[in-house]
Amino acid sequence: MDKSPEKYHISFFVPTTARAKANRNMVLWLVSIWFIAIFGFQILLRVLEKPIPETTFSIFQSVWDNTISDSPGIVELQEFGKTTLSVLGKVAITDSERAVLDNALSWSLYQLTADSLKEDLVIKIQAFEKIKLEIQTISDPNYIKAKELLSAEYSPSLNLDPLDVRTTILPLELVSENIYKLTETARESVPSIMEKYLIHNQSFLTDTKFLGFPFHYFYTAIFLLVLFIGLCLIYCIKTDQMNSKLSIED
């Protein structure tokens, strides 16, 4: 800082005393570490990432064309139904996307059901829908019983393993409305919904595990906060040291 009587002037980048210079250098170091640690890592994450599909997406891609053809195969319909369940089990999906996938799932199950049992399927779904609207809590015994019966009866149609978590989702997502057809909306939007939910940005930074975390998650959620405290600590200690060295009382 320029302390001449006629021109007092202070600028962070142009220090004029040893103390100010030392402070500037320390601040620049700390800010650089701070900046690179936060944004440098995110940029690295962005540069390295690649869109990696879940296995479910590959299955979906392999069966979709056949599924929407005039004569879909049984295996294709089963796999398609299972892929819709994989997405329906994700908490994040919106109500409109859920409605589309519910239609796709219900339609695929309807297609897989023998003609003589199709009517029965619709009746059972409608009965369960009625129960859902009537119950006060989801602990209602009638509701639980109906849900379990529906799951037990129709999971095999989709070739779902009894220990597959999707068996618990199946009864909740069956809808009777438009069960006879895959709606135009569904035909148009199912591929994009699948792409949206089943492809993820991944790299070795996301795939490497550290203390149980995906590494990038640990770095951002845990390490950066430790670093911030560390940077603050260093600044305070160094500043106090500088002040005592120069006998500055503040």
Partner 1 sequence: MKKIYILTSLLVIPFLSHAASAASQLEGSFKVGPAIILISILVLFVMVGILFRAKDTTDFYAAGRGISKVGSGMAIASNWMSAASFLGMAALMYGTGYNGLAYVVGWTGGYVLLLILMAGQIRKYGKYTAADFIGDRYYSQSLRAVGAIIAILISISYCVGQFAGIGLMFKWVMGIDYTWAVIIGGSVVLCYTLISGMLGVTKNMQIQYVIIIISFLIPLFILSYKFDYFWLLPQIGYGSAVSDAISGIPLAETNQLVNSLGNSFAIVPVPEFAMPWDTATGKTFFQWVAIAFSLMIGTAGLPHVIQRFYVVPKASDARWSVVWGLFFICILYWSAPVYAAFGKLLSANPEVGQLSPDAIVVYTAQLGSVHPLIVGLLAAGGISAAFSTVSGLLVAGASAFSHDLYVKVINPDASPKRQLLFARLGTVLMAIIVTIIALFKLALIGQLVAVAFSLAGCTIFPLFLLGIWWSGSNKQGAIAGLIAGGTVSIIALSYFIAGKMGVSWPLHEFVDYWLGAWYFAWIGAPLAILANIIVSMLSKETPLEIRKFLIENVHS
Comparing CB distances to partner 1, the nearer of 5 and 114 is 5
∠ Cα 98 115 105 (to 5°): 10
| Core vs surface per residue 161-188: b (16+ CB within 10 A) or e | eeeeebbebbbbbbbbebbeebbeebee
Cβ proximity of 154 and 108 under 8 Å = no
DSSP-assigned beta bridge partners for residue 50:
202
Q: How far is the CB of 14 from partner 1 (least distance, A)?
A: 10
Under the binding rule (CB under 8 A), the answer on residue 248 touching partner 1 is yes
- Interaction pattern, residues 120-159, with partner 1; x per rule: CB under 8 A: ---------x--xx-xxxxx---xx---------------
Choosing from 21, 46, 145, 181, the residue that interacts with partner 1 (CB under 8 A) is 46
| Core vs surface per residue 202-218: b (16+ CB within 10 A) or e | bbebbeeeeeeeebbeb
Comparing CB distances to partner 1, the nearer of 118 and 214 is 214
Residues that bind partner 1 (rule: CB under 8 A) add up to a total of 87
Cβ proximity of 41 and 220 under 8 Å = yes
Cβ proximity of 169 and 85 under 8 Å = yes
Q: How far is the CB of 201 from partner 1 (least distance, A)?
A: 5
Q: How far is the CB of 127 from partner 1 (least distance, A)?
A: 13
Comparing CB distances to partner 1, the nearer of 69 and 148 is 148
Under the binding rule (CB under 8 A), the answer on residue 49 touching partner 1 is yes
Site for partner 1 in 57-76 (CB under 8 A): none
Under the binding rule (CB under 8 A), the answer on residue 27 touching partner 1 is yes
Q: How would you class 155 by CB atoms within 10 Å of its CB: exposed for 0-12, middle for 13-18, buried for 19 or more?
A: buried
Choosing from 120, 145, 243, 245, the residue that interacts with partner 1 (CB under 8 A) is 243
